[in-house]
Chains A and B, each alone.
Chain A
């Protein structure tokens, strides 16, 4: 016989968080901006033809100021900056999101092992992280890129190193708090193997600070990636990476400053949106912290 139970409506922690996040205007503005940017970046591949419209030169239209035809103007070889910005979002976003993702996975694993087991594993992992932390991100990236050669994949790896150290630290700190909780003992008391405890009980419970860090780190990584491109060791030209565009505009600072200003503003706006979202998430994930 089938028994139907009337179940009490319940809210998971995730849905509670979303409910609180919705009330934060800044975070929602940031989120909308990012969603629009991502959609636009995805769509740009269908709207524009890479060879002709993104990297193809069109000297007759060079250095046109922003207008209704070219919303962001054109650059020194006549390429539509608006199209390049949209198309460039693919590079900037995928490089930063990709390197943060690689850093996230390695960082969580290393941090969880260090925090859960402690002892020698902890010492080794954290001392390496300390050393890496003491070297400026850009420098690590410069070294790696110059060793491995300049390519998008190498750039991705280079940027993921600093992300990994920061995730390892955060994960370790939260794992150490969670390790002392009684529900971990309770899992031990039913004989759960350690790897399963880490995956099922430890990591899900230290996600809150990590999620916040993801949004904030994507922001700083966008800046780092742009800086590397600006230095000429990032995404190889003529790809429309935002930092590279900024760099190319340097020579026209006086005559056509918008070539520089617009990519700069876009970088700023994107990072700002990520930070707004990150701050909002922090408040929403931990309502006690809010004053």
Chain B
């Protein structure tokens, strides 16, 4: 019996635009073990959110395979997905637009309970709602308030409570703290971590913030222009980052250190290129300091350089 809750094979999502095919996600493969966290890191436009939404079938993938607990859900339609909605949930980035402004807190949190008939009877629903609010640290006096009356941190807790309402196994967290202030960010991160321990949750943690991902993830995948360029355990990735893009990302973090321990910064040139009509060459080659001819011949595939550490770079081939 394997412990793999989610398996994604060669997932692709192309959008047709006026300029041509936009390769939002271009052949992504990974597995997530039960109870662990996979961090997906990358800058805007790298396809990390599209990946997360495809897993939940909020976006229809172009090709590839998605296996949830061994069940191939790639071609499930809305109705067939419905029972699975209690198994997998999502927490959104924007605590403003992810909550319906016309619903009260209790309506927002109890909606999934009612939709899936998980709890029957008005009183039982109210009880469960209050329980959920307590779990995420929302004072019960707030049940009848509206989202616009609350601050970002509390709103994000509402989103978490709503996701937890169905008792899911897997939660996709799409930049759950990047809209929050640092002190609140830490509160929410601690909460998510505690919930994982208490409820045995599996997370896919999508973020642009390497510091957050380091704190949070067991495994990390770095994405660039729709593809994974490096994938390994969190410890390995920070100990020996191998892909030039991973190295660049790490050194671009502004560390809050002044004085002697300050790490050296290395800038990379240029900006992310457009993911439309990509040629068959290393996608990072235009910004990379190590580009050689081999890089322009074809797009390198992921290669295992040490157990569990994969890199897609011509230099390691």
Touching in the complex, A and B, CB below 8 A? yes
B287 within 8 A of A: no
Q: Point out the residues of chain B lying under 8 angstroms from A7, CB to CB.
A: 141-144
CB atoms of B92 and A190 under 8 A apart: no
Count residues of chain A with CB under 8 A from any CB of chain B: 24
CB atoms of B100 and A5 under 8 A apart: no
CB atoms of B85 and A190 under 8 A apart: yes
B262 within 8 A of A: no
CB atoms of A10 and B149 under 8 A apart: yes
CB atoms of A8 and B141 under 8 A apart: yes
**B90, chain A: closest CB distance, angstroms:** 5
Chain A residue with Cβ nearest B114: A190
0 or 1 for each of B96-108: is its CB under 8 Å from A? (1 = yes) = 0111111010000
| Residue from the set A182, A186, A194 with the largest chain B CB neighbour count within 10 Å | A186
Q: Point out the residues of chain A lying under 8 angstroms from B99, CB to CB.
A: 183, 186
CB atoms of B58 and A192 under 8 A apart: no
Chain A residue with Cβ nearest B95: A182
B236 within 8 A of A: no
**A165, chain B: closest CB distance, angstroms:** 26
B186 within 8 A of A: no
A68 within 8 A of B: no
Q: How many A-B residue pairs have CB under 8 A?
A: 82
A6 to B166, CA, bound (A): 27
A205 to B97, CA, bound (A): 12
Chain B residue with Cβ nearest A207: B102
CB atoms of B112 and A190 under 8 A apart: yes
Chain B residue with Cβ nearest A189: B90
A201 within 8 A of B: yes
Chain B residue with Cβ nearest A202: B100
Chain B residue with Cβ nearest A184: B100
Take A5-B143, A182-B92, A185-B90 as given contacts and tell me if A191 and B116 are in contact as well, using a CB distance cutoff of 8 Å.
yes
**B144, chain A: closest CB distance, angstroms:** 5
CB atoms of A10 and B92 under 8 A apart: no
**A12, chain B: closest CB distance, angstroms:** 6
Take A182-B97, A185-B58 as given contacts and tell me if A190 and B146 are in contact as well, using a CB distance cutoff of 8 Å.
no
**B297, chain A: closest CB distance, angstroms:** 40
Q: Point out the residues of chain B lying under 8 angstroms from A185, CB to CB.
A: 53, 58, 90, 92, 98
Q: Point out the residues of chain B lying under 8 angstroms from A11, CB to CB.
A: 146, 149
Those of A181-225 within 8 Å (CB) of chain B: 181-183, 185-194, 201, 204-205
Q: Point out the residues of chain B lying under 8 angstroms from A191, CB to CB.
A: 78, 81-85, 115-116
B94 within 8 A of A: yes
Those of A169-186 within 8 Å (CB) of chain B: 181-183, 185-186
A13 within 8 A of B: yes
A83 to B303, CA, bound (A): 90
A205 to B162, CA, bound (A): 20
Residue in contact with A183 in the complex, picked from B97, B146, B148, CB distance below 8 Å: B97
CB atoms of B115 and A192 under 8 A apart: yes
Q: Point out the residues of chain A lying under 8 angstroms from B115, CB to CB.
A: 190-192
Residue in contact with B94 in the complex, picked from A8, A182, A187, A188, CB distance below 8 Å: A182
A184 to B81, CA, bound (A): 16
**A200, chain B: closest CB distance, angstroms:** 8
CB atoms of A13 and B78 under 8 A apart: no
**B175, chain A: closest CB distance, angstroms:** 11
CB atoms of B148 and A13 under 8 A apart: yes
B37 within 8 A of A: no
B24 within 8 A of A: no
Q: Point out the residues of chain A lying under 8 angstroms from B166, CB to CB.
A: 190
CB atoms of B97 and A181 under 8 A apart: yes
Take A5-B140, A189-B58, A191-B81 as given contacts and tell me if A13 and B101 are in contact as well, using a CB distance cutoff of 8 Å.
yes
CB atoms of B146 and A12 under 8 A apart: yes
B32 within 8 A of A: no
**A248, chain B: closest CB distance, angstroms:** 48
CB atoms of B146 and A193 under 8 A apart: no
**B94, chain A: closest CB distance, angstroms:** 6
Q: Point out the residues of chain A lying under 8 angstroms from B311, CB to CB.
A: none
Q: Point out the residues of chain A lying under 8 angstroms from B78, CB to CB.
A: 191, 193-194
**A284, chain B: closest CB distance, angstroms:** 15
A189 to B165, CA, bound (A): 12
A173 to B284, CA, bound (A): 39
A7 to B111, CA, bound (A): 20
CB atoms of B56 and A186 under 8 A apart: no
CB atoms of B98 and A6 under 8 A apart: no
B274 within 8 A of A: no
A13 to B103, CA, bound (A): 10
B9 within 8 A of A: no
CB atoms of A5 and B102 under 8 A apart: no
A8 to B142, CA, bound (A): 6
Q: A12-B102, A191-B78, A191-B116 are in contact. List 5 more A-B contacts (CB 8 A).
A: A10-B146, A187-B100, A189-B89, A204-B102, A205-B100
The 5 closest A-B pairs by CB, nearest first: A191-B85, A182-B98, A191-B82, A10-B145, A190-B112
Cβ contacts A to B, 24 pairs, < 8 Å: A5-B130, A7-B141, A7-B142, A8-B142, A8-B144, A8-B145, A11-B146, A12-B102, A12-B146, A182-B97, A182-B98, A185-B90, A185-B92, A185-B98, A186-B92, A189-B58, A190-B115, A190-B166, A191-B78, A191-B83, A193-B78, A194-B78, A204-B102, A205-B101
